[in-house]
Each structure stands twice: as C-alpha cells, then as structure tokens.
Amino acid sequence: MDQHMGVASKEEEDREEKRTVPEITLRPFTLSDVDGFMTWATDDRVMRFSRRPTCTTKDECLTHMKDLIMPHPWCRAICIEDDGRPVGLVSVTPAPGADVHRASIGFGVAYDYWGRGIATAAVKKAASAVFEEWPLLERLDAIAEVNNTASRRVLEKAGFQREAVLKSYLVLRGESMDMVMYCLLSADSMVR
C-alpha cells in the first residue's frame, strides 16, 4: 500500500487549525465505494506522492480496489460520519517475515477535504486501532517525501516522531526522492 498521497498545502493546513474537525469513522472498503474512491484516485493533486499511478477510469479504480485495496490486511475507508461516504483511505501494512513488531502506515484524502484535520484524525484512529488489534505490534512507522510538508505535519500532529531523512529512498514518478522517516511506538502516551 502507498505511504502518503497528497494531503494539503501549508496554507490549507493553517486553515485547518481554525476549523472544527468533522467526526470520522474508519471502515473496510466495499466495491460500492468506487465513486468515492475515484475522487482521490483519479486526482493528480492527491496521487502525486503515491507510488501507484493515478487512475483514469472507473474500471481502473475498480481493478485497483479488487486487486489491492480489498485483499490488503488493514486498509480502511475514511468516512465523514454525517453521510458515510469515503473521502480517503488509511492503510497499515505489517512488516514482512518475522518482524511482527513493526508495521507501516499510509494515508490519502480527497482534495475537497484537505485542510480539515481529517487525515490527522484518521491516522490517530488507525494507530490506536492497530495497536489494539495486533498485540505484538510495537512500532508503527511512516515515510513522507521531504517536500510533502502537509503529510509530515499530519504525522507530527498524530504523535509520530521524526527519526531520519532517508536519501534517495524511493522512486516516485521516475524520480529518486528523499523521504523523512517517522515512528510511533505502542508505548507512546498519545496512542491509547
């Protein structure tokens, strides 16, 4: 699953501070969520920091959902409580092999919902949920592209600690990118 798609610009994030965060829920995706999924999966502004290509059709979105989202071990739709429509996603991917104490989190929110605190609320809820659901999990990490200040701020507001800058860590859209590594431990007070 991807790490961080687009979230918001610095200006939009600053506006977030002045707004009330809407109540959100996290739930598994169903194929009937395809229209909501399309609002971010077909938007280059959202997908620019994703390792997945931007979808261009509803069929591509359905294929992506069937092949990657639905079978994923922990991928949830971020829904505004008022209407239950998905406005984004948050996923947690366990580390491979014997590293059951570690997992990585990624998230993305539709452009029209940037700057409302939704991503931060979703990351907090997801972290709390996986630490409870996976009792052997001790470390949740995240990476964000160095220039993706909005995703970095989301992680920091959610209690993640910056650990390092990883030089030429990922190739996104054919370009080698530096990433910032973040970590949240199950023992951290903000988790529970």
The predicted-structure confidence for 77-110, as pLDDT tens digits, reads as follows 999 988 889 999 999 999 998 899 999 999 999 9
Q: What is the pTM of this model?
A: 0.87
Is 164 part of a structural domain of the chain? no
**Count: domains in the chain:** 1
- Here the CATH number for the domain that contains residue 42 is 3.40.630.30
Structural domain range at position 36: 10-137
Find all residues with CB under 8 Å of 175, minimum gap 6, and list them: none
Residue 146 confidence (pLDDT) above 70 = yes
Tell me, yes or no, whether 73 lies in a domain.
yes
Per-residue pLDDT at 51 exceeds 90? no
SS3 for 42-71 is CCHHHHCCCCCCCCCCHHHHHHHHHHHHCC
